Structures are given as C-alpha cells and as structure tokens.
Chains A and B, each alone.
Chain A
Amino acid sequence: MARATAFAFRKPSVLPGFGLTLGFAVAYLSLIVLVPLAGLVVKTASMGWPEFWSLATDPRTLAALRLSFGASAAAAAMNAVFGLLVAWVLVRYEFPGKRIIDAMVDLPFALPTAVAGIALTAIYAPNGWIGRYAAEAGVKIAYTPIGIFIALVFIGLPFIVRTVQPVLEDMDREVEEMAATLGANRLQTVVRIVLPTLAPALLTGFALAFARAVGEYGSVIFIAGNIPYVSEIAPLLIVIRLTEFNYAAATAIATVMLALSFVILLAINLLQAWSRRRLGHD
C-alpha cells in the first residue's frame, strides 16, 4: 500500500534520501514560514469583516498604502529605464571599469538597509552632498516623498539589471541585423524589435523591484521624514501600531499589503505567462 502511494507521488529514483530531505524541508518550511503566516491569516479572520474594513480604510492607513504603492511603482518604473540602460551597457559595450561596475550592481542586495538609509539621508539632507544643491534650487528631497522614491530606486535597481542582463546576453544579434537589412534604422530596430523581446524580462524585474519596494522599511524610514498622511509608509505604520500594542490594526495593514502585492504579482505573472506563450520561450 505504502509503496503504491509513494510510487504515484514521485517517480522512482536510485538516489537515497528523498524522504529524509523532503520531510525535513517541508517540516522546517512549515515551522518557520507557514505556521507563523497562518497566524496572520487567523488573526485577520478572527477580526470580523466590519472591524477589518474600518481598520483597513482608516484614512491614515489609506494614505500610507497609497504612498507605499505609488512610490514603489514610480521607483520601479525609474529602475526599468535605468536598469535597462545599465544592463545594456554592461552586456553590449566594452569600457574601462566594467567588471567593477557589474559587481557593484549587487550592492543594494548586500548592503544592510539601515546603512543605505542613513547614507542616502546624509547625501540628500538639506546640508548633504546633493541635498545642498537641491535646496538651493528650492527642492527638498530628504524628509519628503521624493526621498522615499530615491531610497526605493536604490534598493530596486539590481532586480531589473539582473533579470534583463541574461536575456540580453542570450539575445540573437541576427534578429537585429535582419531588421537593418529590411531598412530599419537603429532606433526603429531597438524600439520595435529589441524592446519587445526584452519586455517580459523587464516586466519580471519591475515586479520584483516593486514587490521589494512595497515592503521596504530600513532604507526608507531615515530619509522619509515619517509625517503622517505625507511621508509615512505602510510598513512604518505597522511598526507604529505595534508599538501602540494595536495588534489588530498592524495585522489589518499587513494583510492589505500582502493581498495587494499578491494581486499585482499575480496579474504580472499572468501577463508574463501570456507573453511567454506567445513568444514561445520557456
């Protein structure tokens, strides 16, 4: 009996350790990730709809969510442009220092967010290296939503570069030559041939950068100014509610964030599956 079910569950293999490794992996996953996450779901469910709704639609919460999602989308869009540019020059051109720059693109992955946060604040504060000149021009960067945007650009950059880079490396140059023989100038080739081919990778990178930015906390709170309704991001509001021991409100915000992120990621995944089917690479 047991043999039969095991057989149906997995293809036979001569390698030992399937039960042990999978069992351990699933148990660990459940303990560390699934059970605690289930706690969040149970907490939300136990609230009851009216309470949840009033917490989720609290004006301060809505303002924070709007800011988090809006700034994240803007930062991911900025990164889509410049990340593509960085990936492009790294793959297509030769220039001095290329290897170092290639390696440094991962800095936001490796640098602790709090360190990035205080460093960006130091630069963009009104007396900072860049903030000083912005202030002279009458623009305040740190302690405003612009500062949040800049921090989110910083942490999102590698996602775009590292998803676009391999696709660009694998891209068939003959397709571009083909377009040229058909009379397309370089700009037409890039806009009508290269960019559509990169679009799925760009979209993936955008989604990853966006998802990361929505939840980002450490690099933002120093530069944000954290003024309710103006520059207070949703993760910070969760922390504030927690310090007030208002677990219900914290849970409601976290649930809304999770749900919104999943909906957006799901939409992007579907869009991608569709385009991948059409382009036929998988």
Chain B
Amino acid sequence: MTDVTHGAPVAAPRAFVSPATERRVVRIVLVLVAIAFLAIFLFLPLISVFYEAFRAGFSAFLRAVTERETASAIRLTLLVAAFSVPANLVFGVAAAWAIAKYEFKGKSLLITLIDLPFSISPVTSGLIYVLMFGAQGYIGPVLADHGIKIIFAVPGIVLATIFVTFPFIARELIPIMQAQGSQDEEAALSLGASGLKTFFRVALPNVKWALLYGVLLCNARAMGEFGAVSVVSGHIRGKTNTMPLQVEILYNEYNYGAAFAVASLLALLALFTLIVKSVLEWRYADEIAATRRH
C-alpha cells in the first residue's frame, strides 16, 4: 500500500484521497458493479414487460387490454382498490393518531400487531379467510344460508386485499406523526378550535405528503396483490378475476402478448407510484425523511 521511497529526491505529487473514502478506480468499479447488478435484476425485467407487451405492435396491445374478460378484470381491480384503500386509510389515520398522540399501555404490542400482515405469506392470508368464510369454514355456512357469498366472490377478494395492504398507510403516518409531536394540535385547541377542526385543519395538513404516499403505496399493492387474492378468488373468468389473476390466466394459456399487455398496465401503475414518491421525496425531503422505511 505504501509507496514511500526514502531515497527518491522528490516525492511524486499524487492526487490526495480522503482517508474516509476509496480510491477513484475502486469507486468506479463499485458503482459499475452496482449498476450492473441493478440492470440485470431490476431494469431488465421492467424493460422486458414493455418489450413483450408491444412486441406485436400497438394495435395488438390495444386489442389485448380491451378484450372483454380483461376489461372486466380491470374494472374489478379498480373496484377492489376503491373499497380497500379508503378502509385502510381510515384505519391508518385513526391508528396513527392514537399511537402518535397518546401514551398508553400496550402501544408497542399494537404497533407489532399492525405490522403482522407484513410477515405473513399472502397465500396464508388468503387461507385464513377461506378457513373463516369458506364453504366448510367457521361462519361460511351460516352466511351461505343467508345468501351471502364471500369466498370465490368479490367480498373475499376485498377482504384479502385489505388484509395484505393493512399496514401501509399506518406505517407511513406513525413515524412522522410521532416525530411532529402534539404541540401544533395543542396550540390549535388552546386557540379555541374544536377537536374535529383541529384534526382536519392542523393534524392532517401536517402529514399530507406521508398520507399521499401511503395511499399511493397501498393502492399499488391493492391493485397488484396476487397470492392472497388468488386463493380466495376462485378464478371465475369475467367475474372474480383481478388484473394480476388475468395475467396469470393469459400467461398459462400461452397468450404471452396479452399477458404482458395487462402486466404492462400494472407496471405503469408501479412506475407512477415510484415517480410520485421520488418527486415528493425530493421536494419535501425533510417532511418525508422520517418515513423512509417501509
């Protein structure tokens, strides 16, 4: 490592490298290796989705995504998101408010339980609803007697989606609300604002970017959920097929072009989510810094 030559008349002037970083050539090699890794594992799959989707031309793509069963899958996916995202939004805000603004016993247990769905396989998530509401489940037969069908029907898909996307909004809100403390709300109350007014005029605007990001992430996951939905849906074409399930069916029928066409719509949704997230992060870096982790 050391290139000190005691006999040399003049030490060759060399570029100074801060001891807290690497030599330039090492830096370049590390960046290139990282980019190569990401190119193979991240960029290539993304590119291939669009490449395969448009390989047969734009009109083939259009035909594929407007085909009757696919269109119905798109409608169902939007419907599922329209139920599950607001449900988790209300829960996320309520849970974050209770956890961030008050001190009470069992708080960390509550936080752990909120995270629970993250550590459960989506397939297991579907399974527990089948055990609960299925034809041989605990309350499935009772409900069936009243003409209510949950498994292999839309309600089951919504429930499974809610379960899988359960923690997203709460997880985005809790850290930022905790970091902000309660002074703003207390100030508003002391100025005579009502509780509700304080909540809508002070507390919510304070966390609006985290809230927006949480909703987007929750939405992306809700529309893209596969494993849990696959278990409870029953794959009834045109009825209980969401977009991801439609992708699977088309793919398994060797209808690759159509499968990738539908997949590309979901990939666009993912890209949109990432772009909004990045823009929010760049513009409101300080506000969102606390919610970096997932």
Contacts and interface: CB of A to CB of B under 8 A. Distances in A.
Q: Are chains A and B touching directly in their complex (CB below 8 angstroms)? A: yes
Interface of A: 9-11, 13-18, 20-22, 24-26, 28-29, 32-37, 39-40, 42-43, 82, 85-86, 88-89, 92-93, 95, 97, 99, 101-116, 118-120, 122-123, 129-130, 150, 153-154, 157-159, 162-163, 165-166, 173, 176-177, 180-181, 185-186, 189, 211-212, 214-218, 222, 235-236, 238-239, 242, 245, 247, 250-251, 254, 257-258, 261-262, 265
B105 interface: yes
B66 interface: no
Nearest to A90: B34
Contacts of A85: 30, 33-34, 37
Contacts of A129: 44, 48
9 contacts: A22-B104, A34-B113, A93-B30, A97-B35, A101-B38, A110-B217, A113-B224, A123-B44, A215-B227
B207 interface: no
| Dominant secondary structure at the A interface | helix
Contacts of B248: 114, 222
B113 to A, nearest CB: 6
Contacts of B90: 24
B91 A217 contact: no
Given A235-B227, A239-B231, A26 B110 contact: yes
Contacts of A120: 45
Contact of B31 (A93, A113, A123): A93
A122 B87 CA distance: 36
B189 interface: yes
Contact of A89 (B30, B231, B270, B292): B30
Contacts of A163: 293
Contacts of A239: 123, 230-231
A25 B277 contact: no
Nearest to A118: B251
A282 to B, nearest CB: 13
Contacts of A113: 122, 224, 226-227, 244
B117 A33 contact: yes
A89 B166 CA distance: 33
Contacts of B30: 85, 88-89, 93
Interface in B206-259: 217, 220-221, 223-227, 230-231, 243-245, 247-248, 251, 256, 259
Contact of B20 (A36, A107, A180, A265): A180
Contacts of B128: 36-37, 39-40, 254
Contacts of B49: 115, 118-119
Given A17-B199, A33-B113, 15 more contacts: A15-B186, A32-B159, A34-B113, A86-B37, A93-B27, A102-B278, A110-B221, A118-B49, A119-B260, A123-B48, A130-B44, A217-B227, A218-B226, A235-B124, A265-B119
B131 A247 contact: yes
A109 B217 contact: yes
Nearest to A214: B121
Nearest to B22: A186
A13 B38 CA distance: 48
Interface centre among B23, B127, B162 (most CB of A within 10 A): B127
Interface residues of B, number: 106
A154 to B, nearest CB: 6
Contacts of A111: 46, 224, 266-267, 270
Contacts of A162: 292-294
Contacts of B260: 118-119, 122
A216 B230 CA distance: 13
Interface in B81-135: 87, 90-91, 93-95, 97-98, 101-105, 110, 113-114, 116-124, 127-132, 134
A101 B52 CA distance: 23
Contact of A86 (B34, B95, B182, B195): B34
Contacts of B123: 215, 217, 235-236, 238-239, 254
